[in-house]
Amino acid sequence: MSSVSVKPELIASACSRTAHALDWGTESLVAFGTGSAVALYDPTDAQGPGIHATLQGHTKRVNSVRFVRTISGAPTDTIVSASADCTARVWQRALDSWECKSVLSGHQNPVISTASIELEDGRIIVVTASTDGTMRVFEINGDSVCVQTVDVGSRNAIDVAITVLPDCGALVLATGNTDNCVHLYTRAQAAGEKFAKALKLTGHDDWVTAVTFLRYTDMDTGRGNSTIAHWQAGDVVLASASEDKYVRLWRISQAAVSQVAGAGQDSDKLAAQAMLDAFAKTGDASAAAQLSTRAHIMAVASHSGERSYAVSLDSVLIGHDNWVHSVTWTQLEGLPSLISASADSSVIVWAPDADAGVWSSVARLGEAGGAVQGFLGAAVSPSGTRVLAHGYQGSLHMWRAADGLWLPQASASGHYASVQDVCWDPRGNYLLSVSTDQTARLYAPVARGWREIARPQIHGYDMRCAAFVSPFIYVSGSDEMVLRVFTATQQFVASWQALTHSDVPVSELSRLAVGASLPVLGLSNKAVDEEQIRALQEADTNELNDNYQMRQTHTDVLANAAMSAANSGELPLEEHLLRHTLWPEVDKLYGHPYEIFAVAAAHSGDWIATACKASLDKHAAIRVYSAHTWQPPSVRDPNGGEQGVAAVPLMAHSLTITRMRFSPPDDKYLLSVSRDRSWAIFEKTAHADVFDEPTGPYRLAHHQMKAHTRIIWDAAWAPDARFFATASRDKAIKLWPTPQAGSPYTAKPVVLTFPEAVTAVDFLPALVRGHQYVLAAALENGQVFVLTAEMEEGKAIPSAWNTVEVSRKDAHVAMVHRLAWRPQSQQPRKSQSGLGDDSEVWMVASASDDQSVRIFSIAL
């Protein structure tokens, strides 16, 4: 039996919906939380695969991801992630892989933020903040040890940051809390030392959402800039962001006051004297004018004794119109700069303005409505030339600095909620996924990987299932009682052709609408054809002004058509995916009384089978529709009327039907499985315009009661339809021979057992080398397996199956809802050539509760 090689081709998943879930390490490495995993992504590879790996270990949502940084601020090969599972994990890179080196536990509630620093002796200090009202301080030097627990009470720390004071080497910890204040703690570097509360900085009027430090080390760059001319080498500048819409800068400088702790001295006078001494170093006679802001004296213990520092408000940055969620330091043209992200759908690049003497906005990134509900966070590359922001719905938005402009760039994308179904178009050109995030997304191969190229449906209901009828038509079902039919557009086909260098016959293209538009307050995407656009081009200005709908839809599609032509060959931006890649809805399928749960399309493209949620047998019906008329098939009127009547639904089950599959290659049978633990097979009747059977094109052939002891989640046909598989929560896959007409069904299944509930199964749609069956199976815990078996003479079902597990680091971490093999194979890569000259490479896609869509290439 041949060997099996598995390689991940696509990992598509969105960023966690938390402010500190994303961080930029080296120029080509970004890490962000996605579900309960940490995703690794190369943002510099525009045509690459997007996410190239995930770090798995957490059991709940990852809230914060931060690279451990050196004292100078450079990122290391260590990542700290914090999760709602009440733990933080420390990941370290070893060659091309990452391993979890430490699990930091002890919190009773979710950990929402972390800060870390690598000291010169190699020790790593990690601070974790939790909603249990505590912060925990860990020291890692081989082993991890919790050296301190800081109680902050009911005013939780939302974000934390840590740095080293340059002059004395002491550690300073800043926290942004829900009491609207910034809190400072200090400690010496020596192992086992404790943080002591030093100061509370007031000024913000709402929760402090983000804090970050800058160690200012170069006076020459800012000496000619009046905004920061008073900064000195050795100063530390703390930026704090708040829900009050403002960003505040706090300057920490060494105070030359010899008797700060002396008894009987007025603290305000000491503060003023400390500031005078600090500013005296600048040699600027106007320094005294900056003393209108009160300074705070902070005593810091270090290895060289106690030192005093002056902490004062340096600037207030005003420009956002809503909550500021994150702030991070960078350098632009040699000057310290800030990047802030806000719920007002903008990312602002701030720089000190030499002429105005204040911090000003030099770039405002994002567009109105571009990030629904705003940005939650932003990170900047080490070179300062790229900014990557993540939105409320997990989307990534990237800009690159070029010739004084910030140009938008395509970035990785994915669902931000459970993915319920994936299906390939009949030719295997692209993959469609649907999710409870209420979107449908299309993925296709580009230059060096698979990427999202369209978002054909943005719905108002959680989506459950989908099936392609033809390469450019699919049907989807969601938590509503109707199914919707969508067709591709000329704009989509043109973009897809440019990205993948594929060809489409002109006859197919001419039948498609130019584009689609979504009316205001509407749920149905409307088609826009060439005649409508021509009418728009010929209409005069007065007519356009009188027709608001035409202006809002057709103009948009016309403009997008021009933009698509200009951007041919480029991956679409997130804003483009949201607005300009919709497919028009051409019909609806009615008849079900409850939410749609399953849909299947015949291989011939003639029939659609649908089912809804059911708790009674009268609702557990399969409704069959013609894919040509989008109506139920017509059957003879039992009352003798000349006109045909609609076929009655197919009945067999008593609870929700979870999956339906037409048999290959000629749709002779329709298989259904159900929560009632049974399966049923319906056989095709004689074709006719008006069917004799009251159920139309199919009738019940066999119903196998108690096929499993638990819910049956999925089913699949072998490529030759000699047998089929059913997958159940009872931790088994059963292989059943196909019933033969006119014969009693007494066959016993071949049983394949697994360690967890089996939730998805699919057969490769061809026999490998003409004699080998390949079956993919996935479990409730995210494990994925590939099973192979040789045909056995005289047996309908092979009894000996070889099982290969997909590596856990590449597989899912939550329940897999669907597996789907690509209908076409491809040539083996050179890296896979060790399998033999007759090796075949196929791809299988998977959808999971961990909010990811994955594609694996399987070399057989």
Helices 490-500, 548-566: crossing angle, 10 deg rounding: 20
**Ordered strands of the 621-626 beta sheet:** 596-601, 607-612, 621-626, 650-651
- What is the distance between the alpha carbons of residues 557 and 515, in angstroms, rounded to a whole number? 6
pLDDT higher than threshold 90 for residue 140: yes
Bridge partners of 635, per DSSP, are 645, 691
* Average pLDDT over all residues of the chain: 88
In 3D space, the residue among 116, 302, 334, 118 whose CA is nearest the CA of residue 220 turns out to be: 334
Q: What pLDDT score was predicted for residue 857?
A: 95
The percent of residues in the chain predicted with pLDDT above 90, rounded, is 70
Does residue 742 sit in helix, strand or coil? Answer: coil
- Residue ranges per structural domain of the chain: 419-583
Residue 513 is classified by DSSP as B
In 3D space, the residue among 117, 98, 113, 87 whose CA is nearest the CA of residue 21 turns out to be: 113
pLDDT class of 279 with cuts at 50, 70, 90: very low
**pLDDT (tens digit, 9 = 90+) per residue, 221-254?**
667 788 998 898 889 999 999 999 999 999 999 8
Q: How many residues does this entry show for the chain?
A: 860
- What is the distance between the alpha carbons of residues 254 and 165, in angstroms, rounded to a whole number? 9
Q: What pLDDT score was predicted for residue 35?
A: 95
Residue 782: both structure tokens together = 């995210």
pLDDT class of 578 with cuts at 50, 70, 90: confident
pLDDT higher than threshold 50 for residue 268: no
Query: Which range is least confidently modeled, 157-161, 563-567, 659-663, 812-816?
Result: 563-567
Does residue 493 sit in helix, strand or coil? Answer: helix
- What is the distance between the alpha carbons of residues 34 and 12, in angstroms, rounded to a whole number? 10
Residue 75: both structure tokens together = 């990122």
- What is the distance between the alpha carbons of residues 712 and 34, in angstroms, rounded to a whole number? 29
pLDDT higher than threshold 50 for residue 13: yes
- What is the distance between the alpha carbons of residues 166 and 214, in angstroms, rounded to a whole number? 11
Give the mean pLDDT of 750-777.
96
| In 567-665, alpha helices (H) | 574-580
**pLDDT (tens digit, 9 = 90+) per residue, 326-384?**
999 999 888 999 999 999 999 999 999 988 889 999 999 986 544 567 999 999 999 99
In 3D space, the residue among 232, 251, 239 whose CA is nearest the CA of residue 294 turns out to be: 251
Q: What pLDDT score was predicted for residue 295?
A: 81
439-445 and 246-254: which strand pairing? unpaired
Tally of CB atoms within 10 A around 460: 10
Q: What pLDDT score was predicted for residue 272?
A: 46
**pLDDT (tens digit, 9 = 90+) per residue, 739-752?**
987 788 889 999 99
In the block, residue with structure tokens 């922001």: 389
pLDDT higher than threshold 70 for residue 738: yes
pLDDT higher than threshold 70 for residue 163: yes
- What is the distance between the alpha carbons of residues 545 and 81, in angstroms, rounded to a whole number? 54
- What is the distance between the alpha carbons of residues 309 and 275, in angstroms, rounded to a whole number? 9
- What is the distance between the alpha carbons of residues 598 and 479, in angstroms, rounded to a whole number? 11
Q: What pLDDT score was predicted for residue 254?
A: 84
- What is the distance between the alpha carbons of residues 621 and 682, in angstroms, rounded to a whole number? 12
**Which range is most confident: 268-277, 291-300, 397-406, 430-439?**
430-439
97-104 and 698-704: which strand pairing? unpaired
Bridge partners of 53, per DSSP, are 40
Q: 3-state SS of 107-133?
A: CCCCEEEEEEEECCCCCEEEEEEECCC
**pLDDT (tens digit, 9 = 90+) per residue, 164-217?**
998 888 999 999 999 999 999 999 988 889 999 999 999 999 999 999 999 998
First-last CA distance in the chain:
10
pLDDT higher than threshold 60 for residue 472: yes
| Contact present, 7 and 832 (Cβ < 8 Å) | yes
For the chain, the maximum distance between any two Cα atoms, rounded to a whole number of angstroms, is: 110
pLDDT class of 522 with cuts at 50, 70, 90: low
- What is the distance between the alpha carbons of residues 849 and 59, in angstroms, rounded to a whole number? 12
The percent of residues in the chain predicted with pLDDT above 70, rounded, is 88
Q: What letter represents residue 138's amino acid?
A: F
Angle, CA 814 vertex, CA 851 and CA 50 arms, to 5°: 40
State if pTM tops 0.95. no
In 3D space, the residue among 716, 670, 660, 666 whose CA is nearest the CA of residue 696 turns out to be: 670
**pLDDT (tens digit, 9 = 90+) per residue, 789-845?**
999 888 889 999 999 999 999 999 999 999 999 998 775 554 454 445 568 999 999
pLDDT higher than threshold 50 for residue 602: yes
Residue 780 is classified by DSSP as T
Does residue 538 sit in helix, strand or coil? Answer: helix
pLDDT higher than threshold 50 for residue 614: yes
- What is the distance between the alpha carbons of residues 13 and 852, in angstroms, rounded to a whole number? 5
Residue 332 is classified by DSSP as E
**pLDDT (tens digit, 9 = 90+) per residue, 103-130?**
999 999 999 999 999 999 999 999 999 9
Give the mean pLDDT of 721-727.
97
The Cβ-side half-sphere exposure at 454, using a 13 Å CA radius, reads 28
More confident residue, 263 or 189: 189
- What is the distance between the alpha carbons of residues 479 and 388, in angstroms, rounded to a whole number? 34
pLDDT higher than threshold 60 for residue 852: yes
**pLDDT (tens digit, 9 = 90+) per residue, 66-76?**
999 999 999 99
